[in-house]
């Protein structure tokens, strides 16, 4: 018999993730788990997305970082409800952290909740949080080989956003090679090449997102 010491931890996390999902669904909140390398542009994508939401959809943010509350302050300055989680050096968010953070957000006033995970292209993929969709950001300056080197992260994603697309050419980024790498680990996964700075590509991302946000609301309205 092999004793797996991590199994009880994962089981406990999965139970809390299910509890989180229940709380979110009850309040009519659609939640995204944003995962990427450090500095890929998660906060900028959140702000660019919020700017393009219809007025009827309000947002909230859970910020995850090993330390500091730099991004939370940026979000709060825009008048968006936000809770900061500092992992104290921990390499990922986990469901119990989200459970605690949800108590500090006005859930009934939020339609779309962004969970900005710790910047880490490996560990974050292994922990379910209870969010509805897992979004992985890659950024152009990181290079086009990331799906080949970090397949676990891209396999865990529901959609991939390629950020900083305005510098695609100056960084010699081979989009076809990147797409091919995605297809190996996660065939036909939606890919959105965007620039939060110039706005390019954001319309397609918003269309995909709105289609998913609005669906559970329509279901709720019918019950």
Q: Work out how close the CB of 58 gets to its own copies at its nearest, in angstroms, rounded to a whole number.
A: 27
Phi/psi for 35 (5° steps) reads: -125, 145
* 3-state SS assignment for residue 63: strand
Out of 30, 114, 150, 192, the only residue in the binding site for its own copies (CB under 8 A) is 150
Question: Whose Cβ is closer to its own copies: residue 64's or residue 132's?
Answer: 64
- Written as six digits, the tokens of 179 are 């797409």
For 58-156, strand residue ranges (E) read 59-65, 82-86, 112-116, 133-139
x-marked contacts with its own copies along 59-88 as a string, rule CB under 8 A: ------xxxx-x------------------
Out of 26, 78, 104, 149, the only residue in the binding site for its own copies (CB under 8 A) is 149
Q: What is the distance in angstroms between the CA of the first residue and the CA of the last residue of the chain?
A: 48
For the chain, strand residue ranges (E) read 30-36, 59-65, 82-86, 112-116, 133-139, 159-163, 191-193
Does residue 106 bind its own copies (CB under 8 A)?
no
Question: Whose Cβ is closer to its own copies: residue 101's or residue 138's?
Answer: 138
Out of 28, 96, 141, 216, the only residue in the binding site for its own copies (CB under 8 A) is 141
**Chain positions contacting its own copies, by CB under 8 A:** 5, 37-40, 65-68, 70, 89-91, 118-123, 139, 141-143, 145-146, 148-152, 164, 167, 170
């Amino acid at each position: 018999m092999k004793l797996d010491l991590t199994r009880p931890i994962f089981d406990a996390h999965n139970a809390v993730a299910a509890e989180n999902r229940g709380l979110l669904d009850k309040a009519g909140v659609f939640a995204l788990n944003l995962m990427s390398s450090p500095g890929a542009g998660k906060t900028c994508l959140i702000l660019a997305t919020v700017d393009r939401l219809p007025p009827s959809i309000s947002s909230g943010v859970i910020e995850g970082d090993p330390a500091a509350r730099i991004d939370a302050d940026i979000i709060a300055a825009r008048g968006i409800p936000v809770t900061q989680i500092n992992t104290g050096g921990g390499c990922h968010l986990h469901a119990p952290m989200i459970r605690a953070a949800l108590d500090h957000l006005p859930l009934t006033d939020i339609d779309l909740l962004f969970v900005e995970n710790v910047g880490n292209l490996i560990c974050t993929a292994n922990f379910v949080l209870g969010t509805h969709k897992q979004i992985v950001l890659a950024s152009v300056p990181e290079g086009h080989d990331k799906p080949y080197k970090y397949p676990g992260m891209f396999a865990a994603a529901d959609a991939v956003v390629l950020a900083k697309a305005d510098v695609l050419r100056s960084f010699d980024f081979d989009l076809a090679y990147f797409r091919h790498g995605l297809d190996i680990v996660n065939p036909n996964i939606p890919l959105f090449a965007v620039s939060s700075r110039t706005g390019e590509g954001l319309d397609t991302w918003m269309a995909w997102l709105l289609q998913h946000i609005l669906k559970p609301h329509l279901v709720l309205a019918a019950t």
